[in-house]
Structure formats: structure tokens, C-alpha cells
Structure 1
Amino acid sequence: MTYATLPALFISHGSPMMAVDAGQASDAMFRLSNNLPQPNAIVVVSAHWLSDTLEISTAMRPETWHDFSGFPPELYQIRYPAAGSPALAERIIHILDLAGITAHGNALRPRDHGVWAPLRHLYPDANIPVVQISIPTHYSPAQLRDLGRALVSLRGQQILLIGSGSITHNLRALSFRDPHAMPEDWAKNFKNWMIQKLGSHSYDDVLNWKNEAPYAKQNHPTDEHLLPLFFTMGAGERFNVVHSSFSMGSLGMDIYRFD
């Protein structure tokens, strides 16, 4: 059987409100999915699953987890009922074991909004199995890149690899009252630096972003929303910007593709 080779995607999932608000980024995701062959399965690394060890969701029907508070009631009614795939999860564990990477199954973990918020726009019918992978808190950017490299063969089996985070993520600096506020220079400079380095394959600089990137700490007071980028960076070589925009002044909503 011949399969299409799908890309690896880095998606800035923004606020949980992305799940209900149509905007530039969500429109870009809808167009993107329409231009890709339909995946046989989807594998997601989300900024919102941090763990002590590397874990793979083996649940058949993971619950939709509303892992936030203070949002409109309609957001808490959303369900993303796509099936899991225990068989694919076990295959991933085996592939990683062959690569010298130890991973464990987790049948209890629900899906956080880093998974279902963007998938509602990419694949609203929820008819494609989804497996989630955690981010171990002790992993370095290089280890996450190596995780992506270990799973690159899945792309040739028509499995879509997604890293879900945000290219910039400083919640204290957001203009919550004005979603269309002009982007801050420090956010633009960081994002432009990242795009330039990825486009020129300067991956060592990207991995060393804390020391190399302008305004690194201001854009990411904590690391977790940038970490999925390194996973997708490892899973593909050719870099393209699918979408680039800002919300609330400094929240980067970029989508990147690695083929």
C-alpha cells in the first residue's frame, strides 16, 4: 500500500478561545487541512502535558479536558470525540525503544486544549485517531528534536505529526481588552529571529535560543510553549511558514511546516 508523506506542523494554539473564535490562524488551519491528504492518524505533542517521564496516551477514548478557568460557558461544552489508537501508541513506544528512548503508556490522561482546540479547526469532524505524547520536564530542546527524528518514519505512513504550543507566550504582557492591538517590537523581533534561523537551517542557534534569541525571556518566561517546536523541527527538514500573525499585541499565532 502506498501512503502519502505528510509534514510535521508546529501550531501556535493561542488562547483556549481559539476553539470557538474564527480568526486568521484558525482559517489558515482549515485551509491547510484541505490541502493535505487526509491522515491515517495524528500524533500531537502539546505544551500542556508535562510529565516526569516520556508518556504516550494509550486510551481508546480520551476525555476532552477543559484545563483552564474563567472562560465563557460555551467553551466548557465543547467535546472533541476523536478516537485514540492504542495500537499506534504501542508502535510508537516500540519505535522509540529501538532508538534508545524509553517511553511508557498512559491510558488515563485526558486531552488538553493544546490538542483539541487546533484540531477543531484542522479536522472538525473528529474522525481521525489521535495519540498524544508528553513532554518530560527534564528534556532539553535537543532531546525533543531527537524525539521528532525518531518518529519521522511515521510521516511516510500518512501520520500527521503536530507540535502544539506558541511561538511567543507571555500572558502577563497580553492586551486582553484589544485582540487586535499592534504587535510589540520585542515579540516581532523574537519571532523574526526564529523564522530566519529555521529558514537558514541554523538549528544549533534555535536549540540555544535562550542565549541567542533577542528578548528570549520576555517572550517565554517559561519554556513549555516553545518546546513542541523542537519536536517538529526534528521531524522534518524543509521549513515553511504557513501562517504568521499576532493576537492581543504579543501572542504569536504562527503555523510552521516541516517537510
Structure 2
Amino acid sequence: MSRLPTFFVSHGSPMLALDAGNAGKVWAAIGRDLPRPRAVLMVSAHWHASGGAVGAVAQPDTIHDFGGFPPVLYTLQYPAPGDPALAREVFELLGAQGFSPRVDLTRGLDHGAWVPLRVMYPDADVPVVQLALDMRQGPAWHYRLGQALRSLRDSGVLIVGSGSMTHNLHDVFGAEPVSPAYVAPFQAWMHQRLDHGELDALLDYRQQAPHAARAHPSEEHLLPLFVALGAADGEPVVRLHDEVTERVLAMDVYRFG
């Protein structure tokens, strides 16, 4: 199999599990147009572990890690198998590069993983292994994490970072009737730096990008991008989608390689 690209997807509201809209068309095209992977390594904004962690469950549960949504959302299942052998491979690759993740034998798939995956691979027949973020660490650490895993792309593993290009829930529920002025400038700054391969600026986005702290009051929804970017090994970048939903959630999707 030829080397697979990596992706960053903005997963949006859990409601996209019922109607994925325009973003879903892009997710579906990824699953349809790529060679079938042997597994997906998913890095979601919604799993954090000190030092990192690798999910090694043979049959991960579907985690409904949200509240206040219509009851039908809590009935949805994504019964994709896990891949304990791949989880061990991830653990060993990371260990060889000085990381110390733990192997988790209980963790299922959170909505940052299964909401886009159920559109990408609706038959739930591609194994999924989830990799945790470490919220004590910043973009550079997560970029190196991705670099340590780039060889997986040559053996049929699709690496996907799932988060959001902007993510400020206070503003989602705020009173402003239109998209606040920070969303488009932050999107544009990130796109320009990704498009031109300006890695140093990207790793320092917190200081250099316009309105970074308002676009991301905390970093968990952007850190998956840096894992995908690190695994891409400097290959070309294409933005596949840049819609804004809920006035403030930039739904950018990027392909690397």
C-alpha cells in the first residue's frame, strides 16, 4: 500500500452525528476516495492523559460524552473493532522516541472520534485505536508525538486528528447574532502558515496568531492538528473545508500529504 495522508478534521457539535451537513460531505469523501486503511489512529480533543495513553480495547464502547442533547443521540452506536496489536505498535514507537504513554484497556471511543468516523466509515468495519493528548504539554510536544508515528502511514494506518479550528463554547452560547470578528482572522492566519509550511510560527501560535486565546481558551481542540502535522513529515497541505457553524466553530478540514 502507498503512504496514506494524515488529516485534521473539525468535528463540531455532537448533533452532526444526526446531520453532518457540509462537513460530513468532506468526511465521507475522505473515506470514499482513500485506499481502505488497515486501521485508523484517532487523536481526539476529548481524551487527555498525563504522559499520553493508547487505547488497546478489542471492542471499544461508544462513549456519549456530552449532555443536554436530544435522547436519540444517546442511542447511537459506532461498533468499530479496536486493534490491540496496533496499540502495542504505537506504544513501542512512542517509547522508542522517549515518550511514556500508558496502555489503556478500558477506554472507548468519544464523540470526537466516532462522530466523524461514522460518516467516513459508516459500516464501522475499519479498526480504530485512539491516542490521548497530554494537556500538560503544548504544540511542540504533540508535533513530536506525530513525528514518532509517521512510519505507520506506510503500513496502512490512517492518522486523524479530530478537534476544531476554533473552539470557544462561551461564544457559542453568547448573545452576539453574527460570527465574532476573531474567527476569520484566526482561520486565515492558520491557513497561511500551514500553506507555507511556517512550522515555527505554528508552534508559537499562542503568541503569534490573532485572537488565539479567544479562539482557543484552552488548547485541546487544536492540539490534534499538531499530531497530524507531525506525522505528515513536511508533506503538502490542502485545506478541504473552511465553513463556520454555530457562529464561532470553524470547521476546517486539512489533508497533509
TM-score range, shorter chain: over 0.9
Aligned equivalent of 2:42: 44
How far the C-alpha of 1:104 sits from its partner, in A, is 1.5
Q: Could you tell me the TM-score, scaled by structure 1's length? A: 0.95
Partners of 1:88 and 1:108 in 2: CA distance: 16
Whether 1:129 and 2:134 are equivalent positions in the alignment is no
Aligned equivalent of 1:209: 205
Partners of 1:243 and 1:28 in 2: CA distance: 7
Q: 1:58 to 1:203 in 2, by over 3 A?
A: same
Report 1:151-230 matches (<5 A).
151-174=149-172, 182-230=178-226
Give the secondary-structure state (helix, strand or coil) at the position aligned to 1:164. Answer: strand
Give the secondary-structure state (helix, strand or coil) at the position aligned to 1:224. Answer: coil
In the alignment, which of 7, 11, 14 is matched to residue 12 of structure 2? Answer: 14
Partners of 2:20 and 2:91 in 1: CA distance: 36
Aligned equivalent of 2:101: 103
Partners of 1:239 and 1:65 in 2: CA distance: 31
Aligned equivalent of 1:28: 26
Give the secondary-structure state (helix, strand or coil) at the position aligned to 1:162. Answer: strand
How far the C-alpha of 1:53 sits from its partner, in A, is 2.3
Determine if contact 1:148/1:232 at 8 Å carries over to the other structure.
yes
Give the secondary-structure state (helix, strand or coil) at the position aligned to 2:167. Answer: coil
Whether 1:68 and 2:77 are equivalent positions in the alignment is no
Q: How many residues align?
A: 255
How far the C-alpha of 1:175 sits from its partner, in A, is 5.8
Partners of 1:253 and 1:102 in 2: CA distance: 32
Aligned equivalent of 2:243: 245
How far the C-alpha of 1:182 sits from its partner, in A, is 4.9
How far the C-alpha of 1:23 sits from its partner, in A, is 0.6
Determine if contact 1:10/1:256 at 8 Å carries over to the other structure.
yes
Q: Could you tell me the TM-score, scaled by structure 2's length? A: 0.96
Determine if contact 2:48/2:135 at 8 Å carries over to the other structure.
yes
Which amino acid in 2 is paired with 1:249?
A: R
How far the C-alpha of 1:32 sits from its partner, in A, is 2.1
Determine if contact 1:147/1:231 at 8 Å carries over to the other structure.
yes
Q: 1:32 to 1:212 in 2, by over 3 A?
A: same
Percent identity at matched positions? 42
